[in-house]
Structure formats: C-alpha cells, structure tokens
Chains A and B, each alone.
Chain A
Amino acid sequence: MTRPPHAADRPGLNLFVCIKQVPDSAQIRVHPVTNTIMRQGVPTIVNPYDLFALEEALRLRDEYGGSVTVLSMGPPMAEEALRRALGIGADHAVLITDRRFAGADTLATSYALASALTTLGREQPIDMVLTGKQTIDGDTAQVGPGIARRLGLEQLTYVAAIDRVDPLRREIVVRRRSEGGVQVLASRLPCLVSVVEGLNEVRRGAVADVLRAARAEVVTWSATEAGVEDPMRCGLRGSPTVVRRVFAPSPRQERAQMVAVTGKRPSQLADAVLDLVLTQQPKLEAALADGPVRRNRP
C-alpha cells in the first residue's frame, strides 16, 4: 500500500490503537454443571469495536501521514489479533504479555496499557489513542477512559465521526453519540477517542499488507519491558473487582407464554391473567392471603 509522503508541512500523527482479542461471543457456551464460561475451543476474534478504531486510525494516517501502532494486553495467543491488525494495515504491533497481568479488571488493565503507552510515547509522542467504545466480552467501556485519565489525555468517548483534525494547531472536532442526540465537540491533542460501531467500513488489507503481517515480528513486552512501575497494580492483585457469580440467563421463551384472553375491558383481561398466574403458582395465592403485598415505597 502506498503511504502518503511525510512532508514537512504534514507533521504526521502518532496514532496508537488499543485492541483486545475476545472470544467470539456468538459461540460461547456456559458449562451446564459448573456454570463457568467455556473458553476452550471457542474461536477468538478482534473485538469488533476495536476494528472500527483501527480503521479510523488508518484513515487519519493516510490523510495526515504518521504511523499507526496497535497495542494489546493478553496471553501470548493474542499475537494473532495483532497480526490481523497488521494485515489490515497497521504499521507496528506491540503485545504486552506477562503472567502478572492475568485476571486483570478494567482498573488494572488500563494501568498496564497506560504504562506501555507511556513507554511507547517516549519514542513517539502520543497524538491520539483510539479504542472501541467497549469490548464484547466485558461490556464495561471503562478501559479507554481509564487510559485517558492516567495519561492525562483529553477524553472523547462514543465518537461516531471524526470531523476534523489539525495536527499543527493540535485541534480535533468530533461528533459524539449521546442520549437523544449528537454532540459536536472540539478538543485538543493529545486525546483518547473511543469509537462506536459503523463510523467507517473496515478495509481489507492488500496482498502486500497481509504478507508483511505474516512475516512481521510482533514486539512482545513483559510487564517490566512495558515500563510497569508497580506490578502490584497489575493483574488479579491490582483488581478490586470481584466476580461473585457467573450464570447463564435462562431462555426467555421458556418462561414467557402467549395467553389467549377474551374480553375487552382491562379488568377482564387482568382477571384472566391473574387466574392463570395463580393456577400455575399455587403457593402465590397463599402468600398473598397471608398478608399485604410489600411494595417498595420511597
């Protein structure tokens, strides 16, 4: 792929994209006995939101010059996700992997990633960090903001479009999806942008890109190499979040029932439904008869 020349009037952008390798949620199964998530044999994919972030970074690079570095924290097999990103067109890839990272919650994850970004930033000062709005396996949407806070970056979340970037004036204008509308925000570089789905169409790398990706060495850093200062803040030990229980929601169809009720007045309909509920839940009637139904009042 031809890269735009890095001319003097185009200072270029140092773009960093944080991606995560996640199990394909469409194929996850919950173990019927232990109720734990069975990851074995479940195919992994790059978190789909992160691919939109990567594509957005590639577009910025193609327009303004500069480079795109993808970064991921994960087990050694997460290298595949990074290689995939290289095949789509990223310039560099760094995997931070260490036993001490295992079991990290969002707090510990953003600490480790921020440490690595700080280390990378010494070589190439960060202009922008891009991520997906959230992962499909954790759904927290906290890691991006965590990184921004730790690195002191302007924080632009749920971005649906990047309207303008001015690398010289260090300005950026984005459209942000918010409840009930769209906000147009002007901010400064360096910043963190987390993107929503569908803000672009992810490209397919050319033959040269996938060949380069297949041959590339993915840089692999341990916690120390990544510049983590306090290993106690990584992984399980650095994670205050405790998962108390994991369970599979029971399918709704089995509980829900289509009920044929005749009559037009609401009270008739209510009576019919109540009858049905009481027939199916005989204990309920007794419980109701025992005393007044407790309601939550403010």
Chain B
Amino acid sequence: MVEHFDAIVVGAGPAGTAAALVMARAGLDVLQIERGETPGSKNVQGAILYADALERLVPDFREEAPLERHVVEQRVWLLDERSHTGAHYRSADFDEDRPNRYTILRAPFDRWFAAEARAAGAVLLTETTVTELVKDAAGKVVGVRTDREGENLFADVVILAEGVNGLVGQRAGLRKELDPRHVALAVKETVFLTDEVVQERFNLKGEHDGVVIEAMGDVSAGMVGTGFLYTNRESISIGVGCLISDFQATGTAPYALLDRFKSHPSVAPLLKGGEVKEYVAHLIPEGGYHAIPELVGEGWLVVGDAGQFVNPAHREGSNLAMTTGALAAETVIALHRQGTPCTKAALGSYLRALEQSFVMKDMKKYRGLAAMLHGNKHFLTTYPAALSRAMQTFLRVDGVDKRTKQRLMVQDFKAARGGWWHLMTDAVKLARAWR
C-alpha cells in the first residue's frame, strides 16, 4: 500500500515539531519521522527556552510544558585564568506571571512538544531514520526512504528539520558538507545538586527562579567559543563550545576544556559536591548568515539548525527553529489550500516570510561577527586578561596613588594591544560586527 501524506517532516526537534504542529492544526495530513527512541533523546541544547516563539504556537505552554526555572538573573563573565570580570543583571521584573526566558531539559521538553503535534493529528514515527529523499523523474522530491523494511513514504512536500548535520539534504545533493569554520562543537555536563543547594548558591528565592551565566575569555583557551552555566530545578548544566576548526588547529580535547572550566576558581564552588548525571556533545551551526544553505527547492524546505538558524551572539537557536518551522508550515498550508504544487518557485514565499521576520534580520545583523572573531582571537584572550589586571590595579589598596594607578591601567591596555592604533581599530571592528 502506498502511503501518501500532505507533508513529511524529517526530525522532531523544535523546528520540525513546530512545523508539524502548525500543519496538523490546519488539517493537513502530516507524517513526522524521528531517528531517536523518543523526540528529544538525541537533541542537545544548553538549554534556554525563549517563551515568545513557543507562546505563539502553544499560548498556555506554561501550564503543561516541563520547564526548569525562569531566568531572573543574567550574568556575563569575562574570564582569565584565575578571575572573572562580570556584569550581572537581576530584576524583580523578571519574576512575572508570564516569564520571558526559562531553562529547560531538552529530553522531557521535546517529548512534550512532540506530543502537542501528535495531539493535533500529526503521525509520529520514532526510531526511524530517513536515509534518502525520493525524487520523481523530473528531480522533484516526492517522498522519503527510511531504514525500516518496507515501502517508501510519499508526500507533496518534505520539510527538512533534520538538525545541524543535514545528512539527508547532503546525500540528496541539496547542500554542501559542513565547513568546520561554520560549526561549533559544544560539550555539556548536567551536574546534580538539590533544589535547596541551587537556590542557596545562586541566591534564589524559590524553586522556579534561575540564573544563567555566559562566559567568555579563558574558557575557550584562545579558540573562538564561549562557556555557559545554567541552573535547572535540581541540576546545573555546564558546558563549553568552540569552533570545530579551532579544535582541529589546536588539538584541544573538548572534555579537557570543560574540565578546565569546571575547575576555574569562580566556577568550582558553584558545582561543589554535585554528581555528574549526563555528559553530552553536540554540534552548533555558528556560521551565521553567510553559511545558510539553499532553503527551498522542488518539493522541499529547510528549517531550524539544518538551515544554520542560530544567533551565536545572543545564544538563540531554538526560538529561531520554532519560528522557521512555523513559517515553513504556513507556506505549505497556503499552497495546499490553493492546490498549488510545492515547486521551488511556489515555496519561495517561505524565503520572503523569513526576510520579514526577526530571524533573517538578526542573521544579517551579525553576519560579520563569526569571521571577525575568527581572525581576531585577541578579543577572547588579550582583553579579558587586560581587564582583569586593570580591575586588580584598581581594587588593590597598596599606597600607590590613584592617578598613577589610572596611568598604569591605560598603559597596560595600550601595551597589551601594541598601541592606540590597534585599540581603536579593535573598537571599530567590534562596532561594525555588532551594528
């Protein structure tokens, strides 16, 4: 028997599930295929959930979704070997009825999210890997083949939400192999601590309040990357991620980098006594705007990580995934209602929707950042160290007068970068990458 669906979605992460959910709600016959044992079993993220994108899809998600803590305090740390210079922002305003950011554990969260799509009518196959796309004589994608025995599965359109590697798309010749300079490898541990300990160590007033820390500088050991530490209900997620090309060039072992971060004097006390529950590694697409592959073709669309939709500067990804998934779904729904075939030209309206949304605007805004940091690693090495020295000079009371201290601090910064000219060009570079 030939099975034919209105749409097949490859993958049950945030992008795929958002697409499946929106299409199923519109009455389309949707098949979603996931290789993991359950949705979420293969998916890895820090993880912070940005409420906005999800709220547009599931307005009352706060009542049902497995959430850990909502973020009341954001810390940004610049590390040198023994110190951190930090900016902390905590506000009672974040303690609101409908908080804006949450920490989550992806395994239970993705499972819940996929159940929403299933409840809306999408059919979900798990433990099933899509091995290739099936094309008709004209080269249009008309379905998928899986690693299970039996017939191919057919659909009017295939939405590729297969994640960062994009192996199905690659095999079908729709996209190139990933460039190591466009992908970060992140490793993460989940360290178990009781709710009381988490509250006490982070100065929290309840089991629902949380703190997140983003760390730059020494944490990436001279490579382009960052570290993070997020509080969950009864655990802490701690991890580091750096570009694959940098790992290759330096020969650094990712777990060694994480161990180093965990033993940093500013971090170790926060983890003390915790038991490591989980160790995971995952790739993060960080190539930005220039690394975005072809997003539409004859009978296919790309959403989420597979489309490189991650904003590394703001640590956003799952919200871009959900938004791109929903936009792709809306495109397919409109074509389905008109009875228009999903040709490359017809699916072009997905690209126009992306351009108008915050997704492409943000991707464009930071298009230069990855390349800039890649060629200017001193932003992550020299400056955090110089800043730390300046803070020490400033804070130590040792009989040196303040004017002299100021001069020493300025001289040190100048020396660190070899003169005023370099300091100024750095400022320009940073401003241009950020503007």
B194 and A206 contact, CB distance less than 8 A:
no
Residues of B within 8 A of A80 (CB): 38
User: Is residue A266 contacting chain B, with contact meaning CB distance below 8 A?
Assistant: no
Residues of B within 8 A of A43 (CB): 37-38, 41, 107
Q: Which 10 A-B pairs have the closest CB atoms?
A: A207-B150, A206-B150, A206-B149, A207-B148, A214-B123, A210-B125, A208-B150, A206-B148, A214-B125, A41-B108
Q: Which of A270-289 contact B (CB under 8 A)?
A: none
B277 and A29 contact, CB distance less than 8 A:
yes
Which of A43, A87, A210 has the most CB atoms of chain B within a 10 A radius of its CB?
A210
Residues of A within 8 A of B128 (CB): 207, 210
- Chain A's closest residue to B152 (CB) is A207
**Per-residue contact bits, chain A 73-116, to B (CB 8 Å; 1 contact, 0 not):** 00000001000000100000000000000000000000000000
User: Is residue A215 contacting chain B, with contact meaning CB distance below 8 A?
Assistant: yes
A207 and B194 contact, CB distance less than 8 A:
no
Residues of B within 8 A of A204 (CB): 127, 148-149
A207 and B123 contact, CB distance less than 8 A:
no
B107 and A41 contact, CB distance less than 8 A:
yes
Question: Chain B's interface: helix, strand, loop or mixed, by majority?
Answer: loop
User: Is residue B259 contacting chain A, with contact meaning CB distance below 8 A?
Assistant: no
Q: Which of A206-252 contact B (CB under 8 A)?
A: 206-208, 210-211, 214-215
Once the chains are docked, how many angstroms separate the CA of A144 from the CA of B246?
57
Residues of B within 8 A of A210 (CB): 125-128, 148
User: Is residue B1 contacting chain A, with contact meaning CB distance below 8 A?
Assistant: yes
Residues of B within 8 A of A87 (CB): 127
Residues of B within 8 A of A205 (CB): 148
Once the chains are docked, how many angstroms separate the CA of A41 from the CA of B108?
7
Number of A-B residue pairs, CB cutoff 8 Å, is 47
B interface residues, how many (CB within 8 angstroms)? 24
A41 and B105 contact, CB distance less than 8 A:
yes
**Per-residue contact bits, chain B 135-164, to A (CB 8 Å; 1 contact, 0 not):** 000000000001011110100000000000
User: Is residue B192 contacting chain A, with contact meaning CB distance below 8 A?
Assistant: yes
User: Is residue A32 contacting chain B, with contact meaning CB distance below 8 A?
Assistant: yes
Residues of A within 8 A of B151 (CB): 207-208
Residues of B within 8 A of A29 (CB): 192, 275, 277
A208 and B123 contact, CB distance less than 8 A:
no
Once the chains are docked, how many angstroms separate the CA of A87 from the CA of B128?
11
Once the chains are docked, how many angstroms separate the CA of A142 from the CA of B360?
60
A interface residues, how many (CB within 8 angstroms)? 17
CB distance from B230 to the nearest CB of A (A): 15
B148 and A32 contact, CB distance less than 8 A:
no
Picked from A33, A41, A207, the residue with its CB within 8 Å of the CB of B149 is A207
Residues of B within 8 A of A211 (CB): 3, 123, 125
Query: Given known contacts A207-B146, A207-B149, A210-B128, what 20 new A-B pairs fall within 8 Å (CB)?
Result: A29-B275, A29-B277, A32-B194, A32-B275, A41-B107, A41-B108, A43-B38, A43-B41, A87-B127, A204-B149, A205-B148, A206-B148, A206-B149, A207-B125, A207-B148, A207-B151, A210-B125, A210-B127, A211-B123, A215-B123
B1 and A207 contact, CB distance less than 8 A:
no
User: Is residue B124 contacting chain A, with contact meaning CB distance below 8 A?
Assistant: yes
Residues of B within 8 A of A31 (CB): 194
- Chain A's closest residue to B3 (CB) is A211
Q: Which of B37-95 contact A (CB under 8 A)?
A: 37-38, 41
Once the chains are docked, how many angstroms separate the CA of A151 from the CA of B376?
76
CB distance from B146 to the nearest CB of A (A): 6
Once the chains are docked, how many angstroms separate the CA of A87 from the CA of B149?
12
**Per-residue contact bits, chain A 167-189, to B (CB 8 Å; 1 contact, 0 not):** 00000000000000000000000
**Per-residue contact bits, chain B 3-14, to A (CB 8 Å; 1 contact, 0 not):** 100000000000
B107 and A208 contact, CB distance less than 8 A:
no
- Chain A's closest residue to B195 (CB) is A33
Picked from B41, B127, B153, B194, the residue with its CB within 8 Å of the CB of A33 is B194
**Per-residue contact bits, chain B 102-117, to A (CB 8 Å; 1 contact, 0 not):** 0001011000000000
Once the chains are docked, how many angstroms separate the CA of A33 from the CA of B195?
11
Residues of A within 8 A of B275 (CB): 29, 32
Once the chains are docked, how many angstroms separate the CA of A215 from the CA of B3?
13
Residues of A within 8 A of B194 (CB): 31-33
CB distance from A202 to the nearest CB of B (A): 12
Q: What are 24 inter-chain pairs, A to B, with CB distance below 8 A?
A: A29-B192, A29-B275, A29-B277, A31-B194, A32-B194, A32-B275, A43-B37, A43-B41, A87-B127, A204-B149, A205-B148, A206-B148, A206-B149, A207-B128, A207-B146, A207-B149, A207-B150, A207-B153, A208-B1, A210-B126, A210-B127, A210-B148, A214-B123, A214-B124
Q: Which of A20-41 contact B (CB under 8 A)?
A: 29, 31-33, 41
Residues of B within 8 A of A207 (CB): 3, 125, 128, 146, 148-151, 153
Residues of A within 8 A of B153 (CB): 207
Residues of A within 8 A of B107 (CB): 41, 43
- Chain A's closest residue to B148 (CB) is A207
CB distance from B45 to the nearest CB of A (A): 15
Once the chains are docked, how many angstroms separate the CA of A289 from the CA of B150?
77
Which of B37, B125, B146, B277 has the most CB atoms of chain A within a 10 A radius of its CB?
B125
- Chain A's closest residue to B278 (CB) is A27
Once the chains are docked, how many angstroms separate the CA of A233 from the CA of B112?
34
Residues of B within 8 A of A33 (CB): 194
